[in-house]
Amino acid sequence: MGAVLRNWTINGAITLMSGNRLTARVLDNQSDTAGTGVIGSGRADVTGQDIHSGAGFFNRLAFTLPPSGRFGNAARNTVPTPTLFTLNSSFGRSFRLKERRQLELRLESNHMKNRPTFTNLSTVVNASNYGLPLNTAPMRAMQIQVRFRF
């Protein structure tokens, strides 16, 4: 029993990254400064409310549509996205069978905590999905490897 329980290896890796910064935008050319009526994308207007207060990923009331005929005054990269935290690990051992033969067993797990990590948010003020997550990082993945070396 002691021979089976010894010489196991455990490895782990932690990834911790700050989220990306996004810009609050509006669809349609609100300013129409050229007078062409061309539809495009512009920046939203800041309301003065704290972006970190309120429910959700950011305070959606911190931005609004700019008045017609004027550009929005929201600065670039003011909307924070959530941080990324992943924990990866592996557990394995090699068993010697004969002089040159080995059996290797390994269990790997990526993103062990399996909690959703949102990587992108909708920052278009006049869109129906404003303030909601658009993308997530991959969820937990586990695999077992068995390798026979001869």
Q: What is the per-residue pLDDT across 51-106, written as a single tens digit (0 to 9) for each? A: 988 788 899 999 998 887 788 899 999 998 888 888 999 999 998 888 889 999 99
8 Å CB contact between 18 and 96: no
pLDDT of residue 93: 93
Q: How many domains does the chain have?
A: 1
What is the span of the domain harbouring residue 90? 2-149
What does the pLDDT look like over 30-66, one tens digit per residue? 666 655 655 567 889 999 999 988 788 899 999 998 8
Residue 23 CA, chain-centre distance (Å), reads 16
Q: Give 31 or 123, the one with higher predicted confidence.
A: 123
In 3D, which of 110, 90, 49, 43 has the Cα closest to residue 70?
43
pLDDT of residue 49: 93
Return the amino acid letter for 114: N
What value does the mean pLDDT take over residues 96-122? 89
